[in-house]
Structure 1
Amino acid sequence: MHYNHNIVLVGPMGAGKSTIGRLLATELGLPFFDSDREIETRSGANIPWIFDVEGEEGFRRRETQTIIELLQEEGPIVLATGGGAIMRPENRAAISQSSTVIYLHTTIEQQLQRTAKDKNRPLLQNDNPRMVLENLFAIRDPLYRETADLIIKTDRQAPKSVVRLITKKLKKL
Protein backbone atom coordinates (compact mmCIF):
# COMPACT_ATOMS: atom_id res chain seq x y z
CA MET A 1 0.00 0.00 0.00
CA HIS A 2 1.43 3.39 -0.93
CA TYR A 3 0.09 6.43 0.86
CA ASN A 4 0.48 9.87 -0.67
CA HIS A 5 0.17 12.30 2.19
CA ASN A 6 1.47 12.89 5.70
CA ILE A 7 0.49 10.70 8.61
CA VAL A 8 1.01 12.18 12.07
CA LEU A 9 0.89 10.06 15.22
CA VAL A 10 -0.25 11.78 18.41
CA GLY A 11 -0.76 10.40 21.90
CA PRO A 12 0.77 10.26 25.36
CA MET A 13 4.28 9.21 26.34
CA GLY A 14 4.64 5.46 26.03
CA ALA A 15 1.75 4.96 23.59
CA GLY A 16 4.18 3.53 21.03
CA LYS A 17 4.31 6.47 18.58
CA SER A 18 7.97 5.95 17.62
CA THR A 19 7.89 2.16 17.38
CA ILE A 20 4.58 2.03 15.51
CA GLY A 21 5.52 5.03 13.37
CA ARG A 22 8.72 3.36 12.17
CA LEU A 23 6.88 0.13 11.24
CA LEU A 24 4.01 2.04 9.61
CA ALA A 25 6.40 4.13 7.50
CA THR A 26 8.09 0.95 6.23
CA GLU A 27 4.71 -0.60 5.45
CA LEU A 28 3.56 2.50 3.53
CA GLY A 29 6.88 3.18 1.80
CA LEU A 30 7.26 6.60 3.46
CA PRO A 31 10.15 8.18 5.37
CA PHE A 32 9.77 8.22 9.16
CA PHE A 33 10.54 11.16 11.46
CA ASP A 34 10.25 11.50 15.23
CA SER A 35 9.88 15.17 16.20
CA ASP A 36 11.76 14.68 19.50
CA ARG A 37 14.74 13.05 17.73
CA GLU A 38 14.70 15.78 15.07
CA ILE A 39 14.76 18.50 17.74
CA GLU A 40 17.77 16.79 19.36
CA THR A 41 19.56 16.44 16.02
CA ARG A 42 18.88 20.01 14.94
CA SER A 43 19.87 21.57 18.27
CA GLY A 44 22.74 19.20 19.09
CA ALA A 45 21.33 18.75 22.60
CA ASN A 46 19.09 16.21 24.29
CA ILE A 47 15.58 17.05 25.47
CA PRO A 48 16.31 17.11 29.23
CA TRP A 49 19.12 19.62 28.54
CA ILE A 50 16.81 21.82 26.41
CA PHE A 51 14.20 21.73 29.21
CA ASP A 52 16.86 22.69 31.78
CA VAL A 53 18.30 25.55 29.76
CA GLU A 54 15.27 26.91 27.86
CA GLY A 55 12.42 25.62 30.00
CA GLU A 56 9.37 23.84 28.61
CA GLU A 57 8.38 26.97 26.67
CA GLY A 58 11.72 27.04 24.80
CA PHE A 59 11.37 23.36 24.00
CA ARG A 60 7.78 23.85 22.75
CA ARG A 61 8.91 26.65 20.42
CA ARG A 62 11.55 24.36 18.89
CA GLU A 63 8.95 21.60 18.63
CA THR A 64 6.49 23.77 16.69
CA GLN A 65 9.16 24.94 14.27
CA THR A 66 10.37 21.36 13.71
CA ILE A 67 6.88 19.93 13.12
CA ILE A 68 5.92 22.67 10.66
CA GLU A 69 9.19 22.34 8.74
CA LEU A 70 9.01 18.54 8.53
CA LEU A 71 5.43 18.54 7.27
CA GLN A 72 6.12 21.23 4.67
CA GLU A 73 9.55 20.19 3.44
CA GLU A 74 9.72 16.43 3.67
CA GLY A 75 6.23 15.20 2.78
CA PRO A 76 4.69 12.79 2.48
CA ILE A 77 6.04 11.33 5.73
CA VAL A 78 5.05 9.46 8.86
CA LEU A 79 5.71 11.73 11.86
CA ALA A 80 5.67 10.69 15.52
CA THR A 81 5.13 13.76 17.71
CA GLY A 82 5.99 14.27 21.38
CA GLY A 83 3.13 13.75 23.83
CA GLY A 84 2.80 17.48 24.54
CA ALA A 85 2.90 18.71 20.93
CA ILE A 86 -0.90 18.69 20.92
CA MET A 87 -1.02 21.50 23.50
CA ARG A 88 -0.11 24.32 21.11
CA PRO A 89 -2.92 25.47 18.80
CA GLU A 90 -0.41 26.14 16.00
CA ASN A 91 0.73 22.50 16.15
CA ARG A 92 -2.86 21.24 16.02
CA ALA A 93 -3.52 23.49 13.02
CA ALA A 94 -0.33 22.40 11.20
CA ILE A 95 -0.98 18.68 11.61
CA SER A 96 -4.71 18.89 10.88
CA GLN A 97 -4.26 20.83 7.64
CA SER A 98 -1.68 18.62 6.04
CA SER A 99 -2.09 15.15 7.47
CA THR A 100 -4.09 12.15 8.50
CA VAL A 101 -3.84 12.30 12.30
CA ILE A 102 -3.84 9.05 14.27
CA TYR A 103 -4.29 9.11 18.05
CA LEU A 104 -2.54 6.15 19.65
CA HIS A 105 -4.55 5.71 22.83
CA THR A 106 -3.15 3.78 25.79
CA THR A 107 -3.82 3.34 29.51
CA ILE A 108 -1.89 4.97 32.35
CA GLU A 109 -0.73 1.44 33.35
CA GLN A 110 0.89 0.86 29.97
CA GLN A 111 2.45 4.32 30.00
CA LEU A 112 4.00 3.64 33.41
CA GLN A 113 5.40 0.29 32.24
CA ARG A 114 6.81 1.69 29.01
CA THR A 115 8.33 4.86 30.50
CA ALA A 116 9.56 3.49 33.86
CA LYS A 117 13.27 3.41 33.04
CA ASP A 118 13.39 6.25 30.51
CA LYS A 119 15.46 9.17 31.78
CA ASN A 120 14.82 11.17 28.61
CA ARG A 121 11.36 12.29 29.80
CA PRO A 122 11.79 15.47 31.85
CA LEU A 123 8.14 15.66 32.93
CA LEU A 124 8.39 12.26 34.66
CA GLN A 125 11.56 12.90 36.69
CA ASN A 126 9.75 13.24 40.03
CA ASP A 127 8.30 11.22 42.90
CA ASN A 128 4.88 10.56 41.40
CA PRO A 129 4.96 9.77 37.68
CA ARG A 130 1.46 8.20 37.87
CA MET A 131 -0.07 11.47 39.05
CA VAL A 132 1.82 13.40 36.35
CA LEU A 133 0.57 11.01 33.64
CA GLU A 134 -3.02 11.19 34.97
CA ASN A 135 -2.95 14.99 34.99
CA LEU A 136 -1.45 15.17 31.49
CA PHE A 137 -4.04 12.68 30.22
CA ALA A 138 -6.92 14.73 31.63
CA ILE A 139 -5.69 17.85 29.81
CA ARG A 140 -4.45 16.29 26.57
CA ASP A 141 -6.92 13.47 25.81
CA PRO A 142 -9.69 15.85 24.61
CA LEU A 143 -7.15 17.61 22.33
CA TYR A 144 -5.89 14.31 20.89
CA ARG A 145 -9.50 13.30 20.20
CA GLU A 146 -10.42 16.64 18.64
CA THR A 147 -7.44 16.52 16.26
CA ALA A 148 -7.53 12.82 15.35
CA ASP A 149 -8.93 11.30 12.16
CA LEU A 150 -8.47 7.83 13.67
CA ILE A 151 -8.24 6.63 17.27
CA ILE A 152 -6.36 3.36 17.77
CA LYS A 153 -6.00 1.58 21.12
CA THR A 154 -2.44 0.24 21.56
CA ASP A 155 -2.85 -1.52 24.92
CA ARG A 156 -1.54 -5.08 25.07
CA GLN A 157 -1.19 -5.12 21.29
CA ALA A 158 1.97 -5.99 19.42
CA PRO A 159 3.18 -3.03 17.32
CA LYS A 160 2.76 -5.11 14.13
CA SER A 161 -0.93 -5.76 14.91
CA VAL A 162 -1.46 -2.04 15.51
CA VAL A 163 0.16 -1.26 12.13
CA ARG A 164 -2.08 -3.83 10.38
CA LEU A 165 -5.14 -2.22 11.98
CA ILE A 166 -4.02 1.27 10.94
CA THR A 167 -3.37 0.29 7.31
CA LYS A 168 -6.78 -1.40 7.14
CA LYS A 169 -8.44 1.78 8.44
CA LEU A 170 -6.40 4.06 6.14
CA LYS A 171 -7.70 2.16 3.11
CA LYS A 172 -11.26 3.03 4.19
CA LEU A 173 -10.57 6.76 4.64
Structure 2
Amino acid sequence: MSEITNFRGETLAPDSATRDEAAVRGLILRVGERVRKARELKGIPRRVLSEVSGVSPRYLALLEAGDGNISIGLLQRVADALDHRIEWLVGEDDPWTSDAMRMSELYRGASSEVRAKVLDLLAPQPEASARRHRIALIGLRGAGKSTLGALAGETLGIPFVELNREIEDQAGMPVNEVMAFYGQEGYRRLEAQAMNRIVATHDTMILAVAGGIVSEPETYKTLLAHFHTVWVKASPAEHMARVRGQGDMRPMAGNPEAMDQLKFILTSREALYDQARAKLDTTGRTLAQSQADLLALIRERGFLD
Protein backbone atom coordinates (compact mmCIF):
# COMPACT_ATOMS: atom_id res chain seq x y z
CA MET A 1 0.00 0.00 0.00
CA SER A 2 1.40 3.40 -0.96
CA GLU A 3 2.13 5.90 1.76
CA ILE A 4 -0.38 8.70 2.46
CA THR A 5 0.78 12.07 3.69
CA ASN A 6 -1.15 14.99 5.15
CA PHE A 7 -0.75 18.68 4.23
CA ARG A 8 2.28 18.92 6.58
CA GLY A 9 4.07 16.15 4.69
CA GLU A 10 3.68 13.66 7.58
CA THR A 11 3.19 9.99 6.73
CA LEU A 12 -0.17 8.71 7.95
CA ALA A 13 -1.56 5.31 8.67
CA PRO A 14 -4.71 4.54 6.62
CA ASP A 15 -7.04 5.19 9.57
CA SER A 16 -5.26 8.50 10.31
CA ALA A 17 -5.61 9.51 6.67
CA THR A 18 -9.34 8.77 6.82
CA ARG A 19 -9.71 10.90 9.95
CA ASP A 20 -7.78 13.75 8.32
CA GLU A 21 -9.96 13.61 5.23
CA ALA A 22 -13.08 13.60 7.39
CA ALA A 23 -11.84 16.61 9.37
CA VAL A 24 -11.12 18.55 6.17
CA ARG A 25 -14.51 17.60 4.75
CA GLY A 26 -16.19 18.73 7.96
CA LEU A 27 -14.36 22.06 7.83
CA ILE A 28 -15.43 22.68 4.22
CA LEU A 29 -19.05 21.85 5.04
CA ARG A 30 -18.99 24.06 8.16
CA VAL A 31 -17.53 27.03 6.29
CA GLY A 32 -20.04 26.66 3.46
CA GLU A 33 -22.98 26.52 5.84
CA ARG A 34 -21.81 29.59 7.75
CA VAL A 35 -21.23 31.62 4.60
CA ARG A 36 -24.71 30.71 3.33
CA LYS A 37 -26.38 31.47 6.66
CA ALA A 38 -24.55 34.78 7.12
CA ARG A 39 -25.52 35.84 3.59
CA GLU A 40 -29.18 34.89 4.10
CA LEU A 41 -29.37 36.63 7.49
CA LYS A 42 -28.16 39.84 5.85
CA GLY A 43 -30.57 39.38 2.94
CA ILE A 44 -27.75 39.49 0.37
CA PRO A 45 -28.23 37.88 -3.07
CA ARG A 46 -25.32 35.69 -4.08
CA ARG A 47 -24.65 37.86 -7.15
CA VAL A 48 -24.21 40.94 -4.94
CA LEU A 49 -21.86 39.08 -2.58
CA SER A 50 -19.93 38.01 -5.66
CA GLU A 51 -19.58 41.61 -6.87
CA VAL A 52 -18.44 42.91 -3.48
CA SER A 53 -16.05 40.06 -2.64
CA GLY A 54 -14.67 39.52 -6.14
CA VAL A 55 -15.37 35.78 -5.87
CA SER A 56 -17.33 34.28 -8.78
CA PRO A 57 -21.00 33.26 -8.29
CA ARG A 58 -20.14 29.70 -9.35
CA TYR A 59 -17.38 29.47 -6.75
CA LEU A 60 -19.70 30.87 -4.07
CA ALA A 61 -22.38 28.32 -4.99
CA LEU A 62 -19.86 25.48 -4.65
CA LEU A 63 -18.60 26.91 -1.37
CA GLU A 64 -22.07 27.19 0.15
CA ALA A 65 -22.90 23.66 -0.98
CA GLY A 66 -19.81 22.29 0.74
CA ASP A 67 -18.19 21.35 -2.57
CA GLY A 68 -15.64 24.16 -2.71
CA ASN A 69 -12.02 23.86 -1.66
CA ILE A 70 -11.61 27.59 -1.17
CA SER A 71 -8.20 29.15 -0.63
CA ILE A 72 -7.47 31.19 2.48
CA GLY A 73 -7.13 34.32 0.36
CA LEU A 74 -10.53 33.91 -1.29
CA LEU A 75 -12.15 33.00 2.02
CA GLN A 76 -10.74 36.18 3.56
CA ARG A 77 -12.37 38.20 0.76
CA VAL A 78 -15.73 36.51 1.40
CA ALA A 79 -15.39 37.16 5.15
CA ASP A 80 -14.55 40.82 4.50
CA ALA A 81 -17.57 41.20 2.22
CA LEU A 82 -19.82 39.76 4.94
CA ASP A 83 -18.17 41.95 7.61
CA HIS A 84 -17.09 38.92 9.63
CA ARG A 85 -13.66 37.86 10.82
CA ILE A 86 -12.37 34.76 9.04
CA GLU A 87 -12.08 32.95 12.41
CA TRP A 88 -15.87 33.28 12.72
CA LEU A 89 -16.30 31.13 9.60
CA VAL A 90 -13.81 28.39 10.42
CA GLY A 91 -13.97 28.05 14.22
CA GLU A 92 -15.36 24.87 15.74
CA ASP A 93 -17.85 26.65 18.02
CA ASP A 94 -21.21 27.46 16.43
CA PRO A 95 -21.30 31.27 16.21
CA TRP A 96 -25.11 31.32 16.40
CA THR A 97 -25.20 29.54 19.76
CA SER A 98 -22.07 30.97 21.39
CA ASP A 99 -22.21 33.50 24.21
CA ALA A 100 -20.28 35.98 22.07
CA MET A 101 -22.87 35.83 19.29
CA ARG A 102 -25.75 36.17 21.75
CA MET A 103 -24.07 39.19 23.34
CA SER A 104 -23.57 40.68 19.88
CA GLU A 105 -27.27 40.26 19.02
CA LEU A 106 -28.39 41.71 22.36
CA TYR A 107 -26.03 44.64 21.89
CA ARG A 108 -27.29 45.26 18.37
CA GLY A 109 -30.90 45.44 19.57
CA ALA A 110 -30.19 47.65 22.58
CA SER A 111 -30.76 51.39 22.73
CA SER A 112 -27.84 53.80 22.24
CA GLU A 113 -27.91 54.58 25.97
CA VAL A 114 -27.59 50.90 26.91
CA ARG A 115 -24.81 50.37 24.36
CA ALA A 116 -22.91 53.34 25.76
CA LYS A 117 -23.17 51.88 29.28
CA VAL A 118 -21.95 48.48 28.06
CA LEU A 119 -18.94 50.08 26.37
CA ASP A 120 -18.14 52.04 29.51
CA LEU A 121 -18.31 48.84 31.58
CA LEU A 122 -16.10 46.89 29.19
CA ALA A 123 -13.66 49.77 28.70
CA PRO A 124 -13.80 51.69 31.99
CA GLN A 125 -11.18 54.29 31.09
CA PRO A 126 -12.70 57.69 31.95
CA GLU A 127 -14.32 59.16 28.83
CA ALA A 128 -12.96 62.65 29.47
CA SER A 129 -9.44 61.28 29.49
CA ALA A 130 -9.80 58.78 26.63
CA ARG A 131 -11.80 60.82 24.13
CA ARG A 132 -10.81 64.31 25.27
CA HIS A 133 -12.21 66.81 22.74
CA ARG A 134 -11.79 64.60 19.69
CA ILE A 135 -14.77 64.12 17.37
CA ALA A 136 -14.80 61.59 14.51
CA LEU A 137 -17.34 61.51 11.66
CA ILE A 138 -17.97 58.03 10.26
CA GLY A 139 -20.21 56.71 7.49
CA LEU A 140 -20.20 56.03 3.77
CA ARG A 141 -18.84 58.40 1.15
CA GLY A 142 -21.46 60.94 0.12
CA ALA A 143 -22.98 61.43 3.58
CA GLY A 144 -21.18 64.77 3.99
CA LYS A 145 -18.41 63.92 6.47
CA SER A 146 -15.63 65.97 4.91
CA THR A 147 -17.76 69.01 4.04
CA LEU A 148 -19.49 69.14 7.42
CA GLY A 149 -16.30 68.39 9.33
CA ALA A 150 -14.42 71.23 7.64
CA LEU A 151 -17.28 73.70 8.24
CA ALA A 152 -17.69 72.67 11.89
CA GLY A 153 -13.94 72.89 12.51
CA GLU A 154 -13.84 76.39 11.04
CA THR A 155 -16.87 77.53 13.07
CA LEU A 156 -15.57 76.04 16.33
CA GLY A 157 -11.97 77.08 15.75
CA ILE A 158 -10.54 73.56 16.03
CA PRO A 159 -8.47 71.51 13.55
CA PHE A 160 -10.21 69.39 10.93
CA VAL A 161 -8.32 66.38 9.55
CA GLU A 162 -9.18 63.75 6.95
CA LEU A 163 -7.61 60.41 7.82
CA ASN A 164 -7.00 59.57 4.15
CA ARG A 165 -4.97 62.77 3.73
CA GLU A 166 -2.80 61.66 6.65
CA ILE A 167 -2.31 58.28 4.97
CA GLU A 168 -1.34 60.00 1.72
CA ASP A 169 1.18 62.21 3.53
CA GLN A 170 2.70 59.17 5.20
CA ALA A 171 2.83 57.09 2.00
CA GLY A 172 3.81 59.95 -0.32
CA MET A 173 1.13 59.00 -2.86
CA PRO A 174 -2.67 59.24 -3.38
CA VAL A 175 -4.90 56.65 -1.68
CA ASN A 176 -5.79 54.94 -4.97
CA GLU A 177 -2.08 54.42 -5.64
CA VAL A 178 -1.60 53.16 -2.07
CA MET A 179 -4.30 50.55 -2.74
CA ALA A 180 -2.77 49.58 -6.09
CA PHE A 181 0.77 49.39 -4.72
CA TYR A 182 0.27 47.97 -1.22
CA GLY A 183 -3.15 46.33 -1.52
CA GLN A 184 -5.97 46.38 1.02
CA GLU A 185 -3.78 44.93 3.77
CA GLY A 186 -1.12 47.58 3.27
CA TYR A 187 -3.69 50.36 3.24
CA ARG A 188 -5.22 49.11 6.50
CA ARG A 189 -1.79 49.00 8.11
CA LEU A 190 -1.10 52.62 7.12
CA GLU A 191 -4.58 53.56 8.31
CA ALA A 192 -3.93 52.09 11.77
CA GLN A 193 -0.57 53.87 11.99
CA ALA A 194 -2.13 57.19 10.98
CA MET A 195 -4.89 56.74 13.57
CA ASN A 196 -2.41 56.10 16.37
CA ARG A 197 -0.34 59.08 15.32
CA ILE A 198 -3.38 61.39 15.33
CA VAL A 199 -4.45 60.21 18.79
CA ALA A 200 -0.95 60.89 20.09
CA THR A 201 -0.72 64.39 18.62
CA HIS A 202 -4.25 65.87 18.84
CA ASP A 203 -6.31 66.43 21.98
CA THR A 204 -8.94 68.57 20.22
CA MET A 205 -10.03 68.02 16.63
CA ILE A 206 -12.66 66.85 14.15
CA LEU A 207 -11.65 63.81 12.09
CA ALA A 208 -13.34 62.39 8.98
CA VAL A 209 -12.59 58.72 8.26
CA ALA A 210 -13.22 56.41 5.29
CA GLY A 211 -16.40 54.35 5.42
CA GLY A 212 -14.61 51.01 5.51
CA ILE A 213 -12.70 51.69 8.72
CA VAL A 214 -15.46 49.91 10.67
CA SER A 215 -14.48 46.63 8.98
CA GLU A 216 -11.05 46.67 10.61
CA PRO A 217 -11.81 45.67 14.25
CA GLU A 218 -8.67 46.93 15.99
CA THR A 219 -8.56 50.30 14.21
CA TYR A 220 -12.28 50.85 14.77
CA LYS A 221 -11.84 49.92 18.43
CA THR A 222 -9.16 52.61 18.71
CA LEU A 223 -11.45 55.14 17.05
CA LEU A 224 -14.37 54.37 19.38
CA ALA A 225 -12.14 54.52 22.45
CA HIS A 226 -10.43 57.83 21.63
CA PHE A 227 -13.10 59.83 19.79
CA HIS A 228 -16.68 60.96 20.25
CA THR A 229 -18.00 59.25 17.12
CA VAL A 230 -20.88 60.56 15.00
CA TRP A 231 -22.45 58.42 12.29
CA VAL A 232 -23.24 60.79 9.41
CA LYS A 233 -25.84 58.94 7.37
CA ALA A 234 -28.11 59.47 4.36
CA SER A 235 -30.43 57.44 2.17
CA PRO A 236 -28.80 55.23 -0.51
CA ALA A 237 -30.22 57.47 -3.26
CA GLU A 238 -28.68 60.58 -1.72
CA HIS A 239 -25.34 58.83 -1.15
CA MET A 240 -25.18 57.93 -4.83
CA ALA A 241 -26.41 61.35 -6.05
CA ARG A 242 -23.85 63.23 -3.94
CA VAL A 243 -20.95 61.09 -5.14
CA ARG A 244 -22.02 61.66 -8.75
CA GLY A 245 -22.48 65.35 -8.00
CA GLN A 246 -18.81 65.46 -7.00
CA GLY A 247 -17.97 64.36 -10.55
CA ASP A 248 -17.21 60.73 -9.66
CA MET A 249 -19.11 58.55 -12.14
CA ARG A 250 -17.34 55.32 -11.18
CA PRO A 251 -20.11 53.94 -8.95
CA MET A 252 -22.55 53.82 -11.87
CA ALA A 253 -20.25 53.41 -14.88
CA GLY A 254 -21.00 50.06 -16.54
CA ASN A 255 -22.45 48.70 -13.30
CA PRO A 256 -26.25 48.34 -13.29
CA GLU A 257 -26.10 46.71 -9.84
CA ALA A 258 -24.32 49.66 -8.19
CA MET A 259 -27.37 50.62 -6.12
CA ASP A 260 -27.85 47.04 -4.92
CA GLN A 261 -24.21 46.95 -3.86
CA LEU A 262 -24.54 50.26 -2.05
CA LYS A 263 -27.63 49.05 -0.16
CA PHE A 264 -25.78 45.83 0.72
CA ILE A 265 -22.81 47.76 2.12
CA LEU A 266 -25.11 49.98 4.16
CA THR A 267 -27.00 46.98 5.52
CA SER A 268 -23.91 44.93 6.31
CA ARG A 269 -22.20 47.82 8.13
CA GLU A 270 -25.25 49.19 9.91
CA ALA A 271 -24.57 47.43 13.21
CA LEU A 272 -20.96 48.67 13.13
CA TYR A 273 -21.88 52.27 12.32
CA ASP A 274 -24.54 52.07 15.02
CA GLN A 275 -21.80 51.79 17.65
CA ALA A 276 -21.16 55.52 17.21
CA ARG A 277 -22.00 57.73 20.19
CA ALA A 278 -24.41 59.81 18.10
CA LYS A 279 -26.13 59.89 14.69
CA LEU A 280 -26.65 62.72 12.21
CA ASP A 281 -29.09 62.01 9.37
CA THR A 282 -28.47 64.36 6.43
CA THR A 283 -31.23 62.91 4.23
CA GLY A 284 -33.30 65.73 2.73
CA ARG A 285 -31.34 68.39 4.62
CA THR A 286 -29.54 71.33 3.07
CA LEU A 287 -25.88 71.88 3.82
CA ALA A 288 -26.71 74.78 6.14
CA GLN A 289 -29.30 72.69 7.99
CA SER A 290 -26.93 69.75 8.41
CA GLN A 291 -24.18 72.07 9.62
CA ALA A 292 -26.52 73.53 12.23
CA ASP A 293 -27.60 70.00 13.22
CA LEU A 294 -23.98 68.91 13.73
CA LEU A 295 -23.07 71.95 15.80
CA ALA A 296 -26.18 71.47 17.95
CA LEU A 297 -25.36 67.78 18.45
CA ILE A 298 -21.78 68.60 19.52
CA ARG A 299 -23.07 71.19 21.97
CA GLU A 300 -25.91 69.07 23.40
CA ARG A 301 -23.72 65.97 23.88
CA GLY A 302 -20.94 68.00 25.47
CA PHE A 303 -18.25 66.65 23.15
CA LEU A 304 -16.10 69.76 23.65
CA ASP A 305 -16.92 70.46 27.31
Greater RCO (CA < 8 Å, at least 6 residues apart): 1
Q: What letter corresponds to residue 300 of structure 2 in structure 1? A: K
Alignment partners' CA distance in 1, 2:229 and 2:248:
26
Q: 1: distance between equivalents of 2:179 and 2:252?
A: 12
Establish whether residue 26 from structure 1 lines up as the match of residue 154 from structure 2.
Answer: yes
Gaps spanning 5+ residues in structure 1: where? none
Cα distance in 2 for residues equivalent to 1:67 and 1:124: 31
Contact 1:11 1:144 in 2 (8 A): yes
User: In the TM superposition, what whole-angstrom CA distance separates every residue of 1:59-82 from its partner, at most 9, and x where no partner exists?
Assistant: 111112112211221221100000
Residue 72 and residue 11 in structure 1: after superposition, are their counterparts in 2 closer, same or farther (change >3 A)? same
Q: Which residue of 2 aligns with 1:63?
A: 191
> Any unmatched runs of 5+ in structure 2?
1-131
Distance across 2 between alignment mates of 1:78 and 1:153: 18
The AA in structure 2 aligned to 1:21 is G
Aligned equivalent of 1:95 = 223
Give TM-score, length-normalised by structure 1: 0.87
Q: By how many angstroms is 1:25 displaced?
A: 0.8
In structure 1, C-alpha distance between the alignment counterparts of 2:154 and 2:208, rounded to whole Å? 14
Structure with higher Rg: it is: 2
Partner SS, residue 33 of structure 1? strand
The superposition leaves residues 28-54 of structure 1 with CA deviations (integer Å, 9 ceiling, x where unpaired) of 211000011221122111121111122
- The yes-or-no answer on 1:118 pairing with 2:261 is no
Partner of 2:258: 129
Distance 1:61 1:134 in 2: 27
Task: Give the counterpart letter for 1:139 in structure 2.
Answer: S
SS across alignment from 1:111: helix
**Residue number in structure 2 paired with 1:41:** 169
Distance verdict in 2 for CA 1:124–1:53, change over 3 Å: farther
Q: 1:126: how far off? A: 6.4
Give the conservation status (yes or no) of the 8 Å contact 1:124–1:132.
no
CA distance in 1, matches of 2:284, 2:268: 24
Q: Kindly tell me the number of residue pairs found equivalent between the two proteins.
A: 167
Secondary structure at the counterpart of residue 207 of structure 2:
strand
Displacement of 1:97 in angstroms is 1.6
Q: Deviations over 1:61-114 (max 9, x none)?
A: 111211221122122110000010111122222122222110001111111112
| Partner in structure 2 of residue 155 of structure 1 | 283
Deviation beyond 3 Å, 4+ runs, structure 1: 123-126
Distance 1:131 1:87, change over 3 A: same
> Aligned to 1:17, which of 137, 141, 145?
145
Distance (whole Å) between structure 1 residues aligned to residue 238 and residue 169 of structure 2:
28
Structure 2 distance, partners of 1:52, 1:92, is 23
Distance 1:151 1:144, change over 3 A: same
Distance 1:144 1:33 in 2: 20
Q: Is the alpha carbon distance of 1:76 and 1:50 closer, same or farther for their aligned partners in structure 2, counting shifts above 3 Å? A: same
Supply the distance in 2 between the matched residues of 1:52 and 1:160 (Cα, whole angstroms): 37
Report how far residue 27 of structure 1 moved: 1.8
Match of 1:13, SS state, is: coil
Where does residue 144 of structure 1 map in the other structure?
Answer: 273
Match of 1:165 among 287, 293, 299: 293
**SS across alignment from 2:219:** helix
Q: Identical aligned pairs, as a percentage?
A: 26
